[in-house]
Amino acid sequence: MRSGELARLDVRLGKAGDFTLLVDMTGRKMSVLSQRLKAYVQTDVAGDAHSWRDLVRSASSVLLPQTFGMVVFQEKSCTELGREQVQGHEALKSRFVFTLGFMGSFRDITVDVWESASSLPFPLKAEIAEDGKTRGGSVWLEHIEAVCVEKEHFFIPEGFTRFTSVMDLILYALSAF
């Protein structure tokens, strides 16, 4: 969902439950809410809050320092591949290579991403290329349409607990289950 400079993405992550990403593009704030835990973490967006790449970088900068250097995630390259129609929306297709490292072991992950003004700041579609080390997969937004949505859908609900770090939220989650 998007309303002006406010955006919301709801994701179901299997056993982990439902999560909501709220982005205030003008205020350059991003919040990740766990619907199951009624808890959230909020951070500033470094860079352009209209860009999914800057959202990923900002989320990584919050999470990765708490891994004490054991996890590394960096964008290695980006190549524009042209424009395509995706579900009736004009989209720019680009190929990204990200380097993912865990405890000194590194690998590259190739992701094709379709970006459209109709879905900013989130990509319209993303496909992870399968190789010998990475299982392929894809994610996409469907049925994008203009509708009127009340502003309350873009703010943290009353009764949610704010955690100052992802580690605190993880520890809370472990103790709650």
Tell me which residue has tokens 């996409």.
140
Q: For residue 111, what pLDDT is reported?
A: 93
**Across 46-69, average pLDDT:** 75
Q: Which domains, ranges and CATH numbers included, belong to the chain? A: 2-176 (2.50.20)
Res 142 pLDDT > 80 = no
pLDDT in tens, 22-47: 999 999 999 988 898 899 989 889 88
Q: Of 30-39, 143-152, 153-162, which gets the smallest average pLDDT?
A: 143-152
Q: For residue 68, what pLDDT is reported?
A: 57
Of 140, 76, 77, 143, nearest to 114 (Cα)? 140
* Confidence grade of residue 63 (pLDDT, cut at 50, 70, 90): low
Q: How far apart are CA 43 and CA 157, in angstroms?
A: 17
**Across 63-72, average pLDDT:** 59
Res 175 pLDDT > 80 = no
pTM greater than the 0.75 cutoff: yes
pLDDT in tens, 108-136: 889 999 999 888 898 999 999 888 878 88
Do the Cβ atoms of 98 and 106 come closer than 8 Å?
no
pLDDT in tens, 74-108: 889 999 999 999 988 999 999 999 888 777 788 88
57 or 20: which leads in pLDDT: 20
